[in-house]
Chain A
Amino acid sequence: MSNSLRLLPVILIVWILIAFAWRLIQPSDSTVRSNLVNREVPVFTLPAATNGRPAFGSADLATGEPRLLNFFASWCVPCVAEAPILERLKQQGVKIDGIAVRDTPEGVAAFLERNGNPYERIGSDRSSRVQLALGSSGVPETFIVDGNGVIRFQFVGPIGSADTPKILQELEKAR
């Protein structure tokens, strides 16, 4: 057996250890991103999530100007933190529609009562059907849909005040 072949196991072990160390230093990103960015919003219609706002469907999205599509839920704690940011975006003229995931009319009403209501329409997605159809994997999550009904951007997690410039910039890009 040649010497280099004898070294092979050592090289393999070192290589595996380096791989471990690399992943420890740089953990992999477990964010799930939708593959539907730059594709048309899949067709869906949802019943109204609460009395205060009309029902919501994909037909309401292609309005000629970009809109935010926000997945939220009354049982979602980060959504509470996101609510005032959405409110501020609304005051800046951003059009926002909501999809309440796995929620009840009472739950949604109480959530909006407490945290404000920046939504023009809110659809109720009781078994996450539309969430799955859009390639989304949790709440809160926000999509930017342009005037032709094409998804242009996906934001995973709660939008913080530091993220609003990015959102406004992406909205401008989608115009």
Chain B
Amino acid sequence: MRIFAIVFALALAAPALADSNLPPSYWAYRQLPDPKQEARAQALMEELRCLVCQGQSIADSDADLAGDMRDLVRRRIAAGERPDDIRAWLIERYGDWISYRPTAEPIAWPLWSAPFILLIFGGVIVAGRVKRRRS
């Protein structure tokens, strides 16, 4: 309750540069009644980039547009759409950049291979040390 009051006060007190005077969209600060659907929406919102505060997810941002994006996500989840389809819809418009989840595209291959490369690198170092100790 206290946290809610603080968040509410912050939302009221945000004289951001360009915010509209309209109240937030219906599902911007409201959870879906079905907890399973809300969990799915929440997981997706944490992986979508806010277009205004570009380092934040739409789950964290208080920008009007982030609220509208949460409204869009919750509305579509409630209508039975799959989170991956909503993500694909946004990627079609804004590019991979909008999603925090790394893609399987070739550009992300170095990222995916990094753990294995580091593991091999560590293995080589350990092997070298063990060998030196033996000799």
Q: Which range holds the interface residue count of chain A? A: 20 to 34
Q: Is B33 an interface residue (CB 8 A)?
A: no
Q: Are B68 and A129 in contact, with the CB atoms below 8 A?
A: yes
- Of A35, A75, A133, which contacts B20 at CB under 8 A? A75
| Cβ B22 vs Cβ A126 within 8 A | yes
With a CB–CB cut-off of 8 A, which chain B residues contact A150? none
Residue of A nearest to B25 (CB): A127
Which residues between 115 and 152 of chain A lie within 8 Å of chain B, taking CB atoms?
A: 126-129, 131-135, 137-139
Q: A138 contacts B52, CB within 8 Å?
A: yes
The answer to whether A135 touches B21, judged by C-beta atoms less than 8 angstroms apart, is: no
Beta-carbon contact of A75 and B19 below 8 Å: yes
Docked CA distance A33–B20 (Å):
22
Smallest CB gap from B72: residue in A? A132
CB proximity of A4 to chain B, nearest CB, Å: 14
Q: Is B93 an interface residue (CB 8 A)?
A: yes
When distances are taken between beta carbons in the complex, the residues of chain A under 8 Å from B84 are none
- Report whether B20 and A103 are in contact in the complex, using a CB–CB cutoff of 8 Å: yes
B32 touches A (CB below 8 Å) = no
With A30-B54, A77-B18 already in contact, the answer to whether A135 and B71 are too (CB < 8 A) is no
Which single member of B17, B51, B64, B90 contacts A102 (CB below 8 Å)? Answer: B64
Contact with A along B91-116 (1 / 0, CB 8 A): 01111000000000000000000000
Cβ-closest chain B residue relative to A102: B20
How far apart are the CA atoms of A38 and B27 in the complex, in Å? 32
Chain A contacts of B71 at CB under 8 A? 127
Q: How far is the CB of A104 from chain B (nearest CB, A)?
A: 7
Determine whether the beta carbon of A135 is less than 8 Å from that of B93. Answer: yes
Residue among A73, A127, A131 facing the most chain B CB atoms (10 A cut-off): A127
Interface residues of A in 85-103 (CB under 8 A from B): 101-103
Q: Which residues does chain A contribute within 8 Å of B54, judged by CB atoms?
A: 30
Bound CA–CA A129/B90 (angstroms): 12
User: Which residue of chain A lies nearest to B95 when distances are taken between CB atoms in the complex?
Assistant: A35
Asked if residues B93 and A138 are in contact (CB atoms below 8 Å), the reply is: no
Complex Cα–Cα for A128 and B63 (A): 12
A112 part of interface (Cβ distance < 8 Å) = no
CB distance from A129 to the nearest CB of B (A): 7
User: Is A36 at the interface (CB under 8 A from chain B)?
Assistant: yes
Q: Which chain A positions have C-beta within 8 A of B93?
A: 34-36, 132-135
Partner of A128, one of B68, B92, B94, B128: B68
Say whether A138 contacts B65, CB under 8 Å. yes
Please give the residue numbers on chain B whose beta carbons come within 8 Å of chain A beta carbons, in ascending order: 17-22, 25-26, 51-52, 54, 64-65, 68-69, 71-72, 90, 92-95, 128
Binding site for B on A (CB under 8 A): 1, 30, 32-36, 73, 75-77, 101-104, 107, 126-129, 131-135, 137-139
Pairs of residues from A and B, 9 with the lowest C-beta to C-beta distance, nearest first: A135-B93, A102-B20, A128-B68, A137-B51, A127-B25, A75-B20, A102-B22, A127-B68, A35-B95
